Structure 1
Amino acid sequence: MLRDQFASVLKEFGSLVMEDLTLNDDGITTVTVDNDIVVNLQYLNDSDTVLIFSPVGAFGDLNAADSGEKALALLKLNDLSGPSCEVTLMLDGEGELVLAADRRSAGTISSTDALAAWVELLVRSVRSTREYFAEHFPL
């Protein structure tokens, strides 16, 4: 039932952003914000939970001299009072890509306003993290 409710909210949100946001067989859909930020939403059937995640950017070589500073920066950006707020920043399994992610009960995403606010929270986190890394770790 919650999956159907979430699918309905996605469909309505998709019509607002002019994208088809239908869940695929794995429960995933993707929306691109400002032609720049890819936002993935995945419905987890076992827990009626929705996972939202987005690639922030490349972390760089794990053996580079500044990799420790970058890892520490990610930890600091995860501070609940920091720019990432409720979103968790992490490295992927290979340690090459920084991801921003959050999860919520599907029951809390019962309107397009709730979904839009959640997407915006993630987008703000991705942008602020990209800005921080561009300023402190320029290429």
Structure 2
Amino acid sequence: MTISLKYTQVTVNDTDESLAFYRDALGLNVVQDVSSGEFRWVTMGTNASDGHCIVLSVPHAGRSQSDGDALAELLAKGVLPMLVFTTDNLDAAYKKAVAAGAEVLQEPIAQPWGPRDCAFRDPSGNMVRLNQE
């Protein structure tokens, strides 16, 4: 039996703003853009063969009012789980993210546990890390 990860949900404040960020700063492509009523889910990925994608949506998309409110509060605090991407050229990816307006949390450095990496926030405050082995 083989199991692989397909989607990771990323909660954002503004789908269009986040779509532009993940497209322009990280080079992800829109795989699917689905609306249902007032809500929208945008699936983005790379051309890599692993097929793993992120799905952007606002806190209340597909959730109860109270669950959406709780998620919005966590998003506002910046405490939702981070995203970690890998790249074969950390310096170029970092420069591209900065040029796209990323809020830098950590410039590229060699970590004692192995990879070189950097960190920044997306427009909604989610922490995004880029690493290169």
Tell me the TM-score normalized by structure 2: 0.28
More strand by share: 2
Tell me the TM-score normalized by structure 1: 0.27
Q: Larger C-alpha radius of gyration, 1 or 2?
A: 1
